[in-house]
């Protein structure tokens, strides 16, 4: 990685330098509690264009705008329902993105022409400082190439797009490890467009949640729901719940009979038959879902470098942040 571009996120001088780059319309990758973001001045059309170019992201997939204050968020929305005041108070800074009707100051490019804009306040000292010093909202999707596994280390960003970003702030590994929960608020009700760092049980005391009725496949105007996403280069298959022991053995034999030579295993707590696999990664020996989430993308990227023919991913319990992990595994394997 080009070390000249990587600056320690804990250093105020680095933050100042990064903010200057944003002011000049450049791109800065920065750590958040979820994953690394690829940031640009949300009010600068050319700068936002660069995000789409560098990520090779289709322009129909809108960006999340990151703020360091509630006042900044308000300036981006045309109307803020009361329930959102409570959500911001309870969950910001944190991994909750709120989608509301946009104000006139928001560029159509940022929202892919939608009448709504997604906004969140990250819970990471360096991210908050960067936005504060820059003084304006920062548009920032995850700092990976479109469709590929998200970055949770500065090195991941450098590997994916090091040549094309102006500066990378290195804040170590991301604590949450999966993206924010994207919540669209309509009136006083909410629809979860993407499960993420804040689970349904935690949200539901504060807002009435409706079922999402569309998927990207059915309705391209509802983004954030693409079928295939977060995918490694190596083919990945998510195992059904409870596939282990003899069932797993049978499955591995079937793949080997089909000519699949090297198989990797992404385990939740333990690897049942180490000799079956050419490589494996364990998400959390303790079986802790939060730990599993924080290790998820790093583990997938590690396996993806092992020149395997395929990887099998074990299912995780479908509760709490496990729902966001399963969503990523399902899409990575789609």
Least distance from ligand AMP to the Cβ atom of residue 94, Å: 15
Q: Which two tokens stand for residue 195?
A: 């499960």
DSSP annotation string for 115-169: SEEEEE----HHHHHHHHHH-S-EE--BSS-TTBPPP-SHHHHHHHHTTT-SEEE
Least distance from ligand AMP to the Cβ atom of residue 13, Å: 27
Q: Which of residues 263-302 bind ligand AMP (CB under 6 A)?
A: none
Least distance from Mg ion to the Cβ atom of residue 16, Å: 27
Site string for Mg ion, 249-268 (x = CB under 5 A): --------------------
Which residue number, 193 or 238, has a Cβ lying nearer to ligand AMP?
Answer: 193
Strand (E) positions, the chain? 6-8, 28-30, 37-41, 64-66, 96-101, 116-120, 138-139, 167-170, 181-186, 189-194, 208-210, 235-238, 263-267, 279-282, 310-313
**Largest distance between two CA atoms of the chain:** 60
Q: Which two tokens stand for residue 57?
A: 């992201």
Least distance from ligand AMP to the Cβ atom of residue 141, Å: 3
Least distance from ligand AMP to the Cβ atom of residue 34, Å: 8
- Among the listed residues 27, 54, 64, 139, the single contact to ligand AMP using CB under 6 A: 64
What does 182 interact with, of Mg ion, ligand AMP, none (CB < 5 to 8 A by kind)?
A: ligand AMP
- Among the listed residues 224, 232, 264, 322, the single contact to ligand AMP using CB under 6 A: 224
d(CA 297, CA 293) in angstroms, rounded, equals 8
- Residue 193 as a binder of ligand AMP (CB under 6 A): the answer is yes
Q: Terminal CA-to-CA distance of the chain, rounded, Å?
A: 30
- Residue 142 as a binder of ligand AMP (CB under 6 A): the answer is yes
d(CA 192, CA 211) in angstroms, rounded, equals 8
Site string for ligand AMP, 20-59 (x = CB under 6 A): ----------------------------------------
Site string for Mg ion, 135-174 (x = CB under 5 A): -------x--------------------------------
In this structure, the number of other CB atoms found within 10 A of the CB of residue 49 comes to 15
- Among the listed residues 18, 21, 40, 114, the single contact to ligand AMP using CB under 6 A: 114
Q: Which two tokens stand for residue 295?
A: 């290790």
- Residue 157 as a binder of ligand AMP (CB under 6 A): the answer is no
Which residue number, 55 or 263, has a Cβ lying nearer to ligand AMP?
Answer: 55
């Amino acid at each position: 990685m080009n070390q000249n571009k990587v600056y320690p996120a804990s250093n105020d001088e680095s933050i100042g330098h990064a903010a200057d780059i944003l002011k000049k319309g450049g791109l800065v990758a920065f750590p958040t509690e979820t994953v690394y973001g690829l940031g640009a001045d949300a009010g600068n059309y050319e700068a936002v264009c660069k995000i789409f170019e560098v990520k090779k992201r289709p322009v129909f997939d809108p960006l999340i705008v990151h703020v360091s204050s509630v006042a900044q968020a308000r300036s981006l929305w045309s109307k803020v329902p009361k329930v959102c005041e409570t959500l911001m108070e309870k969950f910001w800074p944190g991994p909750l993105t709120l989608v509301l009707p946009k104000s006139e100051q928001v560029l159509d490019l940022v929202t892919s022409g939608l009448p709504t804009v997604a906004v969140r306040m990250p819970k990471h000292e360096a991210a908050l400082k960067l936005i504060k010093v820059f003084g304006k909202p920062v548009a920032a999707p995850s700092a990976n190439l479109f469709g590929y596994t998200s970055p949770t280390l500065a090195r991941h960003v450098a590997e994916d797009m090091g040549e094309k970003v102006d500066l990378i702030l290195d804040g170590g590994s991301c604590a949450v490890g999966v993206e924010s929960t994207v919540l669209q608020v309509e009136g006083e009700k909410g629809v979860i467009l993407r499960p993420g760092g804040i689970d349904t049980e935690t949200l539901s005391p504060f807002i009435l949640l409706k079922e999402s009725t569309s998927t990207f496949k059915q309705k391209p105007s509802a983004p954030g729901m693409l079928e295939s996403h977060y995918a490694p280069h190596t083919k990945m298959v998510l195992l059904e719940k409870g596939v282990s022991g003899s069932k797993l053995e049978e499955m591995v034999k079937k793949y080997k009979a089909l000519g699949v030579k090297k198989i990797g295993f992404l385990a939740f707590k333990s690897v049942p038959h180490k000799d079956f696999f050419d490589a494996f990664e364990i998400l959390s020996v303790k079986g802790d879902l939060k730990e599993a989430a924080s290790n998820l993308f790093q583990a997938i990227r590690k396996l993806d470098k092992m020149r395997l023919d395929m990887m099998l991913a074990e299912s995780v319990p479908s509760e709490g942040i496990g729902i966001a992990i399963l969503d990523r595994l399902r899409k990575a394997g789609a």
